[in-house]
Chains A and B, each alone.
Chain A
Amino acid sequence: MRAFVYERPADVEQAVAAVAADPQAAFLAGGTTQLDLMKDGVWTPDRLVDITRLPLRGIMVEGQLMRVGALTTMEQLAAEPAVTERLLMVREALLAGASTQLRNMATIGGNLLQRTRCRYFRDPSVAACNRRSPDSGCAAVDNTARMHAILGVDERCVALHASDVAVPLVAVDAQALVAGPGGQQRHIPLTEFWVRADEGPSIEHVLTHGELVTAVDVPLLPAGWRSGYLKVRDRASYEFALCSAAVAVLMDGDLIADVRIALGGVGSVPWRARQAEQMLRGTHVDPVRFEQAGRATVAGAYTLPGTAFKVDLAVATLTRQLLAMTTEANS
């Protein structure tokens, strides 16, 4: 591993300034992504700015809004009673992710900013990776893509955004609170936080260098809503999604009064399925309609031999989860 400078800033302002001033600097939170990338030689910053002592840990609930400090760990958020009561799909997504050990280290801010798991991205001996080195090509497209995206991608990059918790967060229109250089603050809706790979494979999100996520504002689901997260993966635990569906519904008898949907495991960004939501709002529970909504969501998929199965899997995962959320029998 290459030598680097390690810093522990006293406050948010210092942290932001330290990273903003040095193009080769990076924030360090739980380190479960950052240190792996450094050990593998994928990304070797000269300066690590450790933010873990900053006062950004903790959860505040005020009315319909939950503010989650960026340093809150995945386990802490999963254990929050408001999440269990009003956002079950967030809890389920968190607990379906990584392992207990990792979740005790990993922070929510870091989770949103985790880098893709693409095997070619993560091996610097592979030359062709547009995400790592612009205009070098894409080794995944040429070889064996499987844990890759089919939506928001093209032949330049098929990298998946692998976060689970980001999927329900996108579904409820959560926002990131961001601190920038010079004391600037801004709110970024998570639906606009990430950049699709087909809009530029080497840019992953809209943060400028040095901007720090300080918290995530998460609207709680109003009373009467029901939500859940279904994750389909190659083994039962400790594995990323092949496809996942976060679904929240408000039922009025047999009628879907309102619905929020996002898919994971299929997009270069956590995939909000607005068209599916529109197709289902005000309709009756109907598996055929569910499937049509799924088909509409994956209509523009870009697939490779190894990822082609994800088209049908996405439709099936969404249908299965809609059935589970809308029919009493499956609760």
Chain B
Amino acid sequence: MTAVQARPAGWVGQGVDRVDGPHKVTGTAPYSGDVTLPGMLHAMVVTATIAAGSVTKVDTSALLTLPGVRAVFTHENFPRLNAGPQVAFGEAPPAPLQDGRVAFHGQEVALVVADTIQQAAEAARLIEITYAPEAALLDPAHGVAEPLPYLPDTRRGDTEAGWALADVRVGAAYTTAENVNNPLGLMGAVAAWDGDHLDFHDSTQWPVNVRKTLAAMFGVPESGVRVHAPYLGGGFGAGLIPWPYKMLAAGAARALGRPVKLMLTRPQMFKLVGHRPDTEHQVRLAARHDGTLTAIEHRAVSLASLDKPALGLLTAATGQVYACPNVATVERTVRLNRRYPSAMRGPGEAEGNWAIETAMDELAYELGMDPLELRLRNISADRHPGSGLPWSSNALTECCEVGAEVFGWARRDPRPSATRDGHLLVGWGMATAFYGAYLPVSTARITVYADGTAAVRTAGTDIGTGTYTVLTQVAADLLGLSPRQIDLQLGDSDLPDAAQSGGSGLASSLSAALQDAAANLRGSLLGLAGPDSPLRGASPDEVTCRDGGLCRTADPSASTSFAQLLADGELTQLSAEGHTRLPDSAETGMHQAGGFGARFAEVAIDPMIGRLRVRRIVTVTDCGRVLNPKLARSQIIGGTVGGIGMALFEETVTDPDTGRVANGTFGDYLIASCADVPDIEVLFAGGPDRFSPAGTKGAGEIGLVGVPAAIGNAVFHATGRRLRALPITVDQLMM
């Protein structure tokens, strides 16, 4: 029995080091930009310098005489493509270079292909394009507001009645700026055709969707399109959409009969792979003297492009956190001659949270109540405030209490501008966070071999978040092996289909798929057991994988090795697939929960020169089961840093008269530097979620949500000045 006692409780829950770490630090992890194929050409995208109109002439003759230049594609000679398929959360924008129409400044209008990237870049610089400009729709005030694709307006109770009933009311407008995902890894692709077969190395968070989209647009069998994305230099959502650069790479390669590599430049990363759009919110909150909310009204608008609406979701979380009987949300997207918006870490809900949680702080001051106390009074901890069903998990109250304790909230002087440190004003602020549940269906395959090792395969991607590592841990526990005995491959569309690494749902989705695959594997292995096997007659639920074999859970000594089982079945390997099996919300009588959190921030401000420093942040998150505390912590730290950036620095500026990105470089678009990031205390609360088969709710995005409002509320506490437009900058803080 000593062997059994020495066994660790399980790999899940341990802070296992990244299994892909050595590949990354030694430079052997192949990113799309690292792929080089024999005969490969290089492509450079040329972007429009007008915001609306059409391309009338492209002078290509001179370019084609430049050394190394193989082709210049415009709408006149680029292959004609079909429309892309309808895919929820993953629809492609219109195919590029089809008609010469320009819908935004920075749109792809030509593609130069040459022997080297330098030659392609030089030709792209020299290209002369003539436009017929038209009046561009750039002013949001003139745009037409339309409903969102994924979120209807909602109404619960009667907000007017709630408003009338209240003792205290607040209402204000809040805005957030356009932020851009801009992962460090430049995005791009290498396309290689062999007849109708396409091999496509890409920077994508969703290989299966790229496969499907390219097959449909090029009119080739989906079975012949293979998308490789084993590694991604980050994504933050930028890799969720089949962006036009993919069609450009594939189209050029098909037309030229040679592999083509197309990598975007850093400035192009600001324009061609999506962003978090500018948003505007009108919020009205009403409450009784005791703080009980009687009405929440949230109207919000996100800016969008002419050809692609915004994802929205600004109001998605609004009615889900607090037990308010009267809630109304109205959300619109306004189309302009602007770049394609998309999803960026905590999309929509992060912006909506800024508005709601700032308004809650305003309400607290209006009531003369501690902002934390106001939250605690209203949190709907047991039941979803809309459906009335019990939550599958909700540790928001615990998040608030633990955070307050660790932060020392009780010592806070509630009066604004009352806390000083020398000539600095010190402020403490807090906000709650919620990030909606997303648990899509994926498939995965497990194969066991006679030597007791196992291969795990799925098309899902690891965008740097740790999917390789956590799935190895999950598989190790399911198969009773050590992580070293598991070979996990991801990011290949020929492997079992998987959902996108988006919506913080992939780890949950794939963990559940692996659970199902492991159950199927146990069933198949039992089917191989010979007549003398101690496993004979057992059902898959009665057996467990352990030490390279299968045993009865109740009596581990009744076991047979994988090798023996395979030999009994005259096999060398055995595979089983599985998919994410989700409980039915109605049957189980619970409301599927997303992540919850509480954020506490301290700022110090020199009011004379408007200098703000975030001094410390305490962040407590309920993301369900924590598969790997080290990686989860990294995700929350990264999210928090993103939240600091959203609060204080990040803003893509668009020129009002031309629609051009005015600050499309990392010299001009500011993200938080190390010196801007204080000590971040990362804590987790709650336990496994009851709805999610693996107990997880996702840790990728929730970390960002709530950070801007906590900082903004701290600014109010420090200065008495309520700032409602992000980012909060020096000019707003000078007093």
Contacts and interface: CB of A to CB of B under 8 A. Distances in A.
Interface stretch (A5-13, A188-196, A236-244): A236-244
B616 to A, nearest CB: 15
B730 A234 contact: yes
Contact of B667 (A1, A117, A237): A117
B730 A119 contact: no
B731 interface: yes
B606 A320 contact: yes
Interface stretch (B193-201, B314-322, B526-534, B654-662): B654-662
Contact of A312 (B676, B729, B734): B734
A126 interface: yes
Interface in B656-677: 656-658, 660, 662-663, 665, 667-668, 670, 672-676
B125 interface: yes
Given A117-B667, A242-B730, A142 B606 contact: no
A236 B734 contact: no
A126 B660 contact: yes
A56 interface: no
A317 B653 CA distance: 26
Contact of A313 (B609, B653, B660, B675): B609
B668 to A, nearest CB: 6
Given A125-B49, A232-B730, A235-B673, A119 B118 contact: no
Contacts of B606: 320
B130 to A, nearest CB: 14
Contacts of B478: none
A1 B668 contact: no
Interface in A236-279: 236-239, 242-243
Contacts of A41: 125
B676 A309 contact: no
B608 A1 contact: no
A319 interface: yes
B435 interface: no
Given A41-B125, A316-B609, A143 B734 contact: no
Contact of A144 (B125, B613, B662, B672): B662
A41 B653 CA distance: 22
B396 to A, nearest CB: 32
A156 B260 CA distance: 45
B676 A313 contact: no
Q: Which of B613, B657, B662, B729 has the most CB of A within 10 A?
A: B662
A41 B121 CA distance: 10
B649 interface: yes
Contacts of A142: 657
B667 A2 contact: no
A1 B657 contact: no
A1 B121 CA distance: 6
Interface in B102-130: 118, 121-122, 125
Contacts of B648: 235
B610 A119 contact: no
A226 B270 CA distance: 45
Given A126-B660, A143-B657, A313-B610, A235 B676 contact: yes
A309 B731 contact: yes
B611 interface: yes
A236 B670 contact: no
Contacts of B668: 117, 119, 147
A234 B125 contact: no
A320 B609 contact: yes
Nearest to A308: B731
Contacts of B670: 234-235, 239
Interface string A102-126: 0000000000000001011011011
Contacts of A243: 609
Contacts of A316: 608-610, 734
A316 B613 CA distance: 18
A104 B731 CA distance: 32
B676 A1 contact: no
A144 B667 contact: no
B341 to A, nearest CB: 20
A195 B606 CA distance: 34
Q: Which of A125, A142, A233, A319 has the most CB of B within 10 A?
A: A125
Contacts of A317: 609
Contact of A143 (B608, B656, B731): B656
Contact of A235 (B122, B658, B672): B672
Nearest to A321: B609
A237 B676 contact: yes
Contacts of B676: 235-237
Given A2-B125, A242-B730, A312-B734, A144 B609 contact: no
A230 B674 CA distance: 20
Contacts of B125: 1-2, 41
A232 B673 contact: no
A245 to B, nearest CB: 10
B598 to A, nearest CB: 26
A3 B122 CA distance: 9
Contact of B675 (A123, A139, A237): A237
Contacts of A230: 609
Contacts of B610: 232, 313, 316
Nearest to B672: A235
A235 B611 contact: no
Nearest to B48: A125
Nearest to A329: B422
A2 B66 CA distance: 11
Interface in A1-27: 1-3
A305 to B, nearest CB: 11
Contacts of B657: 142-143
B660 to A, nearest CB: 7
A312 to B, nearest CB: 6
Contacts of A139: 655
B122 A232 contact: no
A2 B660 CA distance: 25
A236 B731 contact: no
Contacts of A120: 662
B468 to A, nearest CB: 30
Contacts of B662: 119-120, 143-144
A236 B613 contact: yes
A3 B606 CA distance: 50
A320 B734 CA distance: 12
Nearest to A147: B668
Interface in A272-331: 309, 312-313, 316-317, 319-320
A313 B667 contact: no
A199 B125 CA distance: 32
Contacts of B656: 143-144
A3 B121 CA distance: 12
A230 B610 CA distance: 13
Nearest to B654: A144
Interface in A214-240: 230, 232-239
19 contacts: A1-B125, A2-B122, A117-B667, A139-B655, A143-B655, A143-B657, A144-B653, A232-B730, A234-B670, A235-B673, A235-B675, A235-B676, A236-B675, A237-B673, A237-B675, A238-B673, A309-B730, A313-B730, A316-B734
Q: What 8 pairs across the A-B complex have the smallest Cβ distances?
A: A237-B675, A236-B675, A309-B731, A143-B655, A237-B673, A236-B676, A316-B608, A125-B49
Given A1-B122, A234-B649, A316-B609, 16 more contacts: A1-B118, A41-B125, A119-B662, A119-B668, A125-B660, A143-B656, A144-B653, A144-B662, A235-B649, A242-B730, A243-B609, A312-B734, A313-B609, A313-B731, A313-B734, A320-B608
